[in-house]
């Protein structure tokens, strides 16, 4: 198969902008039918062993088909990555950095196409999927500023000791359906910048944009360094047990993370797991309600609540509870919901049937609880697709499923508290520990509250967002290890101490 040159990639992007405006589901579907997607294995774009439908969550109907990798094709991808590893590991950091900068250029020059495909398969409004692609490129570039070179720990009459950071080998990366490109690109960057090769598996619910990215970036890296396959849980399980996969990086549920830990134990794989987050926000009585209500709503209902770090529980001081709830409910009533290609839409659907059913199950159980008060929402929208009204529920306490579990949909329970210690105790209850936030006009008091929260990230007067230079990850059952920052990058390496004689 003849390879595509970098200039051809750029020209294709330019021609797409000129010849086709991808501003409707039908336009994107036609584009995909004319440009069928394939797997990327060892630098070659190959047909899948079989094909599976991809569902548009805004209509609950098939919008495309995606190739599925066979077990043999996964073996081929891992073999290609394994064969490419020695040369890529020996490649100078400067050259790996250059390749990744070209990868960022591919993202930026093809943002219109990638965002349109992403909106079709994931459901989020087009303006927001464009932001996802652009931000992925920004995160990538920022991470390349982090120094991962060897460190001299000692150089004296006793000798010279160098701390080396050696790449691990083949990284198996498993990305989720809620933010497909935004969560895949950092995994690619972590793995390749540190000298590893990668086999990336997107979610079978949202494989299209990732497969398109693989096609566009086919010639950015040497053959075998970057591989993209597609498939279900069986493919992920095969990667987790494979002897030639040195590390698994996963963003997913706690249940999936536990399965990966168990299946990877036989080979003692290195793991970076970013898992569920039933994130708490504590709102003290001294806040400016006019300012915080929109910010809290946005942080709770971003991507229709389908973000691991979104606010999933809110604890509000009793003195302001009712007013804040009513302000947020008013925002919910005025927030337009619909398909991602519809102008001015702010909230899209739940991404897939299984998650839609799960959220509705939680709502049904909550409605049976006599304590629960549905201030706004509470039902599926009477239209095609997986739409659920933005919902705010009060009156619950710990022990209710909506409070204790991560619903991962547009549903927010709001609880009362009387003092800071009470709020911290409620927020810390349960198995989750990904993120939390404290909202207050008294920063010193907010810092004191934050110091008691058990979470990997705690914000004051904001919630949601990562800094690529700052480690991110969860405590308790919300994950293992960290992504981003130097700590996140070095988790994709093995530390080795090299002792040299004096004068070396």
Catalytic residue annotation: 274, 308
- Token pair of 197 as six digits: 């090769």
Asked whether the beta carbons of 174 and 239 are under 8 A apart, the reply is: yes
Q: How far is CA 89 from the centre of its chain?
A: 26
The helix (H) or strand (E) run that includes residue 330 is: helix 321-334
Cα distance between residue 32 and residue 26, in whole Å = 10
Q: Nearest CA to 300 among 284, 286, 287, 316? A: 316
Asked whether the beta carbons of 397 and 416 are under 8 A apart, the reply is: no
- Report the interhelical angle of 321-334 vs 289-301 (nearest 10°): 60
Cα distance between residue 393 and residue 363, in whole Å = 10
> Within 13 Å of residue 446, how many CA atoms lie on the same side as its CB?
20
The DSSP string of 231-294 is --HHHHHHHHH-TTEEEEEEES-HHHHHHHHHHHGGGT-EEEEE----EEEEE-TTS-HHHHHH
Q: Nearest CA to 107 among 78, 129, 80, 79? A: 129
**Residues 6+ away with beta carbon under 8 Å from 158:** 502
């Amino acid at each position: 198969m003849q390879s595509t040159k970098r200039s051809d990639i750029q020209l294709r992007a330019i021609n797409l902008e000129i010849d086709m405006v991808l501003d409707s589901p039908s336009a994107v579907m036609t584009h995909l039918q004319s440009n069928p997607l394939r797997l990327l294995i060892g630098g070659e774009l190959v047909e899948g062993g079989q094909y599976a439908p991809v569902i548009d969550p805004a209509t609950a109907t098939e919008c495309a088909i995606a190739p599925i990798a066979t077990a043999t094709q996964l073996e081929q991808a891992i073999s290609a990555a394994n064969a490419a590893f020695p040369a890529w590991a020996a490649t100078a950091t400067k050259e790996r950095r250059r390749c990744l900068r070209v990868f960022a250029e591919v993202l930026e020059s093809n943002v219109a196409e990638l965002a349109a495909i992403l909106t079709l398969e994931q459901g989020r409004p087009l303006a927001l999927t464009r932001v996802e692609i652009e931000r992925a490129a920004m995160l990538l570039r920022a991470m390349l500023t982090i120094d991962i070179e060897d460190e001299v720990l000692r150089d004296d009459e006793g000798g010279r000791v160098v701390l080396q950071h050696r790449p691990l080998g083949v990284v198996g990366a498993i990305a989720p359906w809620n933010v497909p490109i935004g969560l895949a690109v950092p995994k690619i960057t972590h793995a390749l910048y540190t000298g590893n090769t990668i086999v990336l598996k997107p979610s079978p619910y949202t494989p299209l944009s990732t497969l398109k990215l693989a096609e566009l970036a086919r010639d950015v890296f040497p053959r075998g360094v970057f591989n993209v396959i597609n498939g279900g849980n069986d493919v992920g399980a095969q990667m987790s047990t494979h002897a030639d996969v040195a590390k698994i990086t996963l963003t997913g549920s706690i249940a999936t993370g536990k399965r990966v830990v168990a299946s990877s134990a036989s080979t003692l794989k290195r793991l970076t797991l970013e898992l569920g987050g039933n994130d708490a926000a504590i709102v003290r009585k001294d806040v400016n309600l006019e300012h915080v209500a929109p910010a809290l709503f946005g942080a709770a209902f971003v991507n229709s609540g389908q973000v691991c770090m979104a606010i999933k529980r809110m604890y509000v001081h009793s003195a302001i509870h009712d007013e804040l709830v009513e302000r947020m409910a008013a925002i919910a009533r005025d927030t337009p919901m619909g398909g991602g290609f519809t102008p001015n839409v702010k909230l899209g659907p739940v991404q897939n049937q299984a998650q839609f059913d799960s959220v509705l199950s939680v709502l049904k159980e909550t409605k049976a609880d006599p304590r629960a008060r549905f201030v706004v929402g509470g039902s599926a929208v009477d239209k095609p697709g997986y739409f659920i009204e933005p919902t705010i529920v009060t009156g619950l306490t710990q022990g209710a499923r909506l409070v204790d579990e991560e619903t991962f949909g547009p549903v927010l329970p709001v609880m009362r508290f009387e003092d800071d210690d009470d709020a911290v105790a409620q927020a810390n209850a349960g198995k989750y520990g990904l993120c939390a936030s404290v909202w207050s006009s008294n920063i010193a008091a907010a810092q004191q509250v934050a110091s008691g929260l058990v979470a990997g990230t705690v914000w004051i007067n904001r919630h949601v967002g990562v800094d690529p230079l700052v480690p991110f990850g969860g405590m308790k059952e919300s994950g293992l290890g960290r992504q981003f920052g130097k700590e996140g990058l070095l988790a994709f390496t093995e530390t080795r101490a090299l002792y040299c004689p004096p004068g070396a």
